[in-house]
Structure 1
Amino acid sequence: MELLDLEVNDVRIVGIHGRDGIGKTTIAKIVYNKISLHFDACSFLAEIEETTQQPGGVQYLQTKLIFDIVKREYEVASAFKGVRVLKEIFRNMKVLIILDDVERGSLVKEFVGAKLDWFGSGSRIIVTSKERSVLQGFVDLGLARTYDVNPMHDDLAFDFFCRCAIRTSDELHSYVDIANKIVKAAKGLPLFLKVFGSFLHDKGQEEWIKFEDIIGQCQEDYQKILSIIYEALDQKQKQMYLNIACFPPDVDSRIASYMWHYYDPPHDVIEVLCHMSIIQKEENKIGMHSMLRCLAREIMRKGFHDPGTGVGLDIPTIAQDPNMGKKGTDHPDTEEAGYEILPNTTFLSLGRANIGGKFADALLNVRWLHWQGCPRDAISILLEKNEHLVILDLSWSKVTESWGGWKRIKMERLKVLNLTGCGNLLVTPSFSCCPNLEILIFERCSRLVHLDPSINNLKRLVTLNLKFCSNLSMLAAEMDGMNALRELLIDSTSVRELPASIGKLALLQILSATNCFSLVGVPGSVCELEALLVLALDATKILELPDSIGDLCKLTRLSLRDCRGLVTLPESIGKLKDSLVELDISGTGISKLPDSTKNLRNLKVLKMDSCFLREFPCYIGQLTNLEEVHASWCRCLEGVIPSDIGKLLRLRELRLRGTRISSLPSKVQLLSRLQTLDLLHCENIRKLPNLPQNLINLYVNPGLMRNM
């Protein structure tokens, strides 16, 4: 925090350096969460080194950075064009950017330039890296400061290890001596403390002693220790661990689960690996630490060249292009490059590589083909005999609707088709070749204009992702055939209206149409979606919601942020009293919530930032489950906050920045769980009452602090 020095209005980088497993990313996340409120916009770009190894990786990250900062889609066609756009966007903004896991100095410049002259005053960039040399150019210019992460000191390391390894404090006395030796061997590295502790959790003293002996014999050869933990896994756990190590960063666990159809259910094995800290899972994304990924790939390398070492396992194959990025070597032939593919390969990642015809038989058992940026017609012949393919990822490739593979490949078992970023695709192919699809992704197909009518025959389709298909203006007129659909994502498309047949999607749970700037209305049939959990219509041009919106009896989240033409909510919204958890009307023209809002007894998050609210709801105390209230920059909001707010005993955040409120009630001190109170730029407040003792973050004008 001292190196960041947020009080100074210069632009600077702080590099967080240290060895693998020491907690660089964890520190960056903590700092990011702590200071993000001080900036106009923020972005956290994770696993940059791994992501940029994928085709289009730099453009993908630049696109994500632009979206995070300006909250709207901008398709980056090339890394060079991405740089130009970033320079234009950042110039007048105070931003916070985290670049996580960067091992090449040239990559930093792709996102922040060479002199930090893209950014508004007060901007901060945090870079995590094993290599101090990554930022040397910036250090030489006086633009960067570096922070070296030290290992955890002994007492803290011991406590952390014990929290991972021991169920109850009563057991601690039996393990103290062994625990101390294991902690000492871990050298204060949080990754090893966590993995070792999780491995020993629920194990007896004899196994602890055995593990202590192993650590002593390995003499700080951590890869060897980790490999012993790997050997303790059962066959299913080993297979899943090796697979995940090859998957793209933060892959969707719902997609990955199709690889393990013979596990019943695969989620149980995932939970075991998470409990052992071998993999990480956040929401629906799964991944692993780079050291554990390196171990897995070394195991696979040995198993690949000596199949006997991987008995009973399917060894995933990664055939990355060794010359990626060099001119004239975008699509080398794999035969020439000397690659091999084992006949039992079930997961195959080919990067931009092309492979010769002699490999056709080796692909017979491939279940997941991850071939981003593949040549236009390469795979239609190679996979013609494959009847096991369940996941086909052709992201960022040149395929079109006329590609020969659609008809030549036997894809009756195909469950997932990912065509993200296929910029040459104008019309979707006919889906008659893959009738059993469950997940269909066209995200960022920026030239796509038409969906083939056969999409309505996909009776097992669960997810349809059309996000950022910016030229798509119409959905299929008939959608009732997709009667298994649960997730429809059309964010940042040019869709003008939702078809009336959408009301027949009886299982639909998520309808997301954020940043659909051409969408002018919501049909009443949407209110027939009795299974709907999330309705997100942010930044659309809708002027009203259907009066029967209250019939969505399971709706948990309603987001209407930046729907500037929306001035009222239907009175029926009160009928969502048992379901609605989050309501966001920020940036709308709404000046008063309907009286029925007081019935929303399960509401936890109420967001009203930058709307035209004139007074704080007098019934606020009846919404007893509220945990967050956001009403910052409501310029018309004035007067006093009702004393009933003291009844919100679960409230954690109260944000009123930039409003004209004149006082807080004395009962605010009863809010025992309140952690964040934001009153910055509330010029009409002259004095504060006594505040809750558990308050962590308080934002007020300096003059008000002197009156406390």
Structure 2
Amino acid sequence: MATTSASPFAYHVFLSFRGQDTRKTFTDHLYTALVQAGFQTFRDKDSIERGKYLNLELSKAIKESRISIVVLSKNYASSTWCLNELVPILECNKSRGAAVLPIFYDVEPSDVRKQEGSFKKAFEKYENEVEAERDPDRKMELAERVKGWKAALRQVADLTGMVLKNEADGHESKFIKKIVEVVGDKMKRTVLNDAPHLIGIDLRATDINSWLQDGSNDVGIVAICGIGGIGKTTIAKYLYNLNFERFEGSSFLASIREVSGQPDGLVRLQRQLLSDILKGKKEKIYNADQGIVRVKEALRCRKVLVVLDDVDQVDQLDAVLGMRDWLYPGSKIIITTRRKQLLKASEVDTVDEVVGMHHTESLELFSWYAFGQDHPIEGYMDYSKRVVHYCDGLPLALQVLGSSLSGESIDVWESALKKLESIPEGEILKKLKISYDSLQDDHDKNLFLNIACLFVGKDKDWTITILDGCGFYTKIGIHNLIDRYLLTVGQRDNKLWMHHLIQDMGREIVRQESTEEPGGRSRLWQQEAFNVLSGKTVRIIYLMSTSMALLLISLKMLDLSHSHGLVSDILDFSLVPNLERLVLKHCINLIEVPESIGVLQRLVLLNLKGCQNLRKLPTTIHRLKSLDKLILSGCSKLYDLDNTKAPTLTQLGLIADFGFKWKSNT
């Protein structure tokens, strides 16, 4: 059993006892049994580092324990230390619901409740000390303290406990075994905090859960993969809580990517793994190589369940776990990662790719965070559906936006939704940006930004041709982006796709390059590209045309699809003389293509598909010596000018149903 930083509890069990009565006998055996059962157990001086102030550490340990076991022996009440410890234990029981299990070791519950027998003798001494006190304030303080101790003993005696003489015929070993079983029941055998609303988790975890419970002696490794925020860690925690009891040892190593990047991070992970597997025993490890040897020794002799959460580098696996042949028969390893190809196929039994939530699940999850129930409240259904559509099945986004909109008015919701259209939510982007930041070099980062801004929905092979011509190693770059779930390729249409929140993240990175002046950004698309080229920021465009990034990308490939401005009136193509591909699809206000297009001597593609109000081609079109493809499908009002050097549509040549192709012979 293991603890995790996700849990508010540092210990499973806090042991309260009188040392002179039972430290070296009953309590020692009980402590050992609890630790061997996998419970992280606090036992006063054994669990406190040297130099720590004892009272403060004890108080902290009580608050950070899920259950307190109070061993009430004959002389328990004669220890003011024990009585002072009992009071906060019961306060935590009342305020936080922390469990308390009283153990009546050779004493009767009635003696504790009524302070009779040895308990009576102890309190007679305390009351005599109160009477003997001369200082009025001190006397009152002592009297209140004794009164509190009596109340605490009555309270603990009224709790459901276990009496040695009534259990297992008084045999201590059997009695201890039953205590461990009761502790397990009180804990409900859950050691990691699950997400509060596990919607659809059973379906997503079914296959791996069956694999964990198959009872085989095969060593198994499963990788749970997917984009950030899709629920990989949530699934892993759920599976761990259901199955850790089936193994001789278990450990959940959270946030490996983050921890391993810190000083001695890998060594810390190795220490935690060993401590978890060895039931709390602390191993001295001074470097990762030494840790590998110790981990190897520990894993070879017991069947374990280990979860390695958020792994993104192979060396993290090697340092923390190593190869499959280390593992004892029947051991199981679960790895969560944003990298699909982190492990070779020969090293993994299954790669489980987590998919997004469907609409009904998304609406339910969002509603729990926004409204505290499984459906939207009256008047908010349409707005909720818009948010759910924006989140596109990503649990992280549903949780973040649900929490941020909870309790807000309709006006705030409307404003928030409009803002999301222009500026994505920061907390969501921060989580998603981890995958971008983990890319191995600037080449892959720039490639990702180019695709996010300009090539989503475009043919993969066509994109490779374009970007290879701009100096990119596009095939390997796309491979690396797919590995980190930043990009997918349609199996049927061969087009590049990414989750729209991933695309928003990429475009937001570019937007942050110059939030006030779009012309200062390295990449432009759609309406902002139109605004810049319309002359509104001519000075900045001139500066941009000399920058390598825009010269190679934005000024070679310009996509102004669906622009609603009067393109024919204000576009000046002389600002972008190196343009190779120009897309003006569905620009419904485009009446004529500007004559300045004639300067584009390198233009290979001109796409005017769906420009339904386009009436004529420019007279300068015959100057486009490199033009290879002209797409005019859907340009129903187009007619040819007479008495110009422009080619006729017959000369252009019809291609199937989608457009026209023309080779200049001039």
Normalising TM by the smaller chain, what interval? 0.3 to 0.5
TM-score, length-normalised on structure 1? Answer: 0.31
TM-score (norm 2): 0.33
Pick the structure with more helix per residue. Answer: 2
Instruction: Kindly name which structure, 1 or 2, has the bigger radius of gyration based on alpha carbons.
Output: 2
Greater relative contact order (Cα < 8 A, sep 6+) = 2
